[in-house]
Amino acid sequence: MDTTNQLKAVLNFIVPFPEQELDEIVSCFKVRRVLRGEQLLTSGEVCREFYFVYKGCIRTYFIDDNGKEKTRYIMPDNHIGTALGSFISGEPSFEQIDALNDSELLVINYTDFYRLNEDSVYWKKFYQKILEMAYAFQTRKIESIMTRTAQQRFEQAMKETPALFQQVSNNVLASYLDMTPETLSRLKSR
């Protein structure tokens, strides 16, 4: 399946779109290939892009006061996302976005994203749905960090997203699961 058909499938999975409207929406996305380690957004910049990961993996993260990376969200193949707070508000981002491996992305800019939100009832439903999904995901993640042990978080991730263990480094995975790399290594070796 090519990039645009895969994007259509993901959009339709979230909200069913009429085919003609879907063609117009997909035409707003531009292909971008990025290399592992490439920064898509640095802290202090305003986020002006929304991403669909066709192949590869990107992440949103921030660096805490102690200089440690804290990964908020990992987007492997067929996932969508951005630094949503900055994208919505137009304010500088606390988060950063980088490519965890060589990736092929479809990117829509802020102007086209919100023009579609004005012009399309279906895109507006899509936008509402992704906001709801993002809120639910972050709420579950916070609850998990606050109420589960490192081992329970590890086991949950192995059950829900086992592919991440193959796609991302131990350091990134540990920061995503809010544990040290040493704890993650110990849990993986059991």
pLDDT in tens, 51-102: 999 999 999 999 999 999 999 999 999 999 999 999 999 999 999 999 999 9
Say how many Å lie between the first and final Cα of the chain, rounded: 38
In this structure, the answer to whether residues 30 and 121 fall within a common structural domain is yes
Which pLDDT value is given to residue 15?
96
State the CB neighbour count (10 A cutoff) for residue 53: 22
Which of 34, 37, 69 is CA-nearest to residue 173? 69
Task: Quote the pLDDT of residue 190.
Answer: 83
Query: Is 119 in the same domain as 172?
Result: no
Considering only CA atoms, give the Rg of the chain: 17
Q: What is the pTM of this model?
A: 0.91
What is the extent of the structural domain holding 65? 3-134
92 and 10 in a single domain? The answer is: yes
Could you tell me if residue 142 is inside a domain? no
| Residue 87 CB coordination number (10 Å) | 20
98 with 11, same domain: the answer is yes
Quote the pLDDT of residue 1: 60
Residue 41 lies in a domain: yes
What digits encode the pLDDT tens for the residues 13-56? Answer: 999 999 999 999 999 999 999 999 999 999 999 999 999 999 99
Q: What's the residue count for the chain?
A: 190
Whether 76 and 114 map to the same domain: the answer is yes
pLDDT score of 163: 86
